[in-house]
Amino acid sequence: MEKKITGADYLYLALYAFAGIGLEMLLVGVIEPILGISLETYTTAQNIVHWIIICIVWLLVGIFLIGLAKKKYSFNIWEYHSKLKAWQYVGIITCLVVSVVSHYMDWEGFKPLLEFQRLGALKFTFQYIYYFFEAFLISLIIIFGQKACEKWFKNEAIPYGGIVLALTWGLMHIASKGSISVGLLSAFGGFLYGAAYLIVGKDYRKALPLICLMFVL
């Protein structure tokens, strides 16, 4: 007898994506120390290699989860197509503005400019490639979290995926950054990314670049 697909199946996928992001902690806390490399003493080359390795890991995790969702649950994240209406463009602009303002408050300045000044052109480029791949896995937490809650609550108008992201990736920043305010701002950002996913009609071709843009600005 074929197993019925439930919300829990999709929630597991969201949590796997979250665990995929957490693999960086394994790289930083276990693998690199074995090799005599410390986060506090990265050279530029070591920093770039670290980013490249974790980007490859995140890409493989994301591809695996997308394929698993399609094969096991017949859920194709690319299936939604949305022709944007006027209100959706307003929503997109609003999400971008709110995201930029929240980052400005967190960083006490315009994030990309501050990071460019701090990192220089070379490291800045690889840092932002790294951000793209993190945003890729973040988007999967949103999609699978949204699908899980829609299965449970039969309501497609609430950004459940953003709530799942806020409670996982967002609040994780309290521990990783040692700051409650940073964690709460990250949680708010996670909710906002989930709202953006719904605003573009769950069209992943539009949601992914929008989430990436909101994430880096």
Q: What is the pTM of this model?
A: 0.91
Checking if the pLDDT of 1 tops 50, the result is no
pLDDT of residue 176: 65
Structure tokens at 170: 């967002």
- Cα distances (Å, whole numbers) of residue 67 to 15, 150, 159: 16, 21, 23
Q: How far apart are CA 39 and CA 154, in angstroms?
A: 45
Q: Give residue for tokens 């094969």.
A: 71
Checking if the pLDDT of 178 tops 60, the result is yes
Structure tokens at 207: 């949601």
pLDDT of residue 215: 92
Residue range 89-129, pLDDT digits in tens:
999 999 999 999 988 888 888 999 999 999 999 999 999 99
Residue range 26-47, pLDDT digits in tens:
888 888 888 888 777 888 888 8
Give the 3-state DSSP-derived string for 67-124, with helices as H, strands as E and coil as C. HHHHHHHCCCCCCCCCCCCHHHHHHHHHHHHHHHHHHHHHHCCCHHHHHHHHHHHHHH
How does residue 21 score in pLDDT terms, banded at 50, 70 and 90?
very high
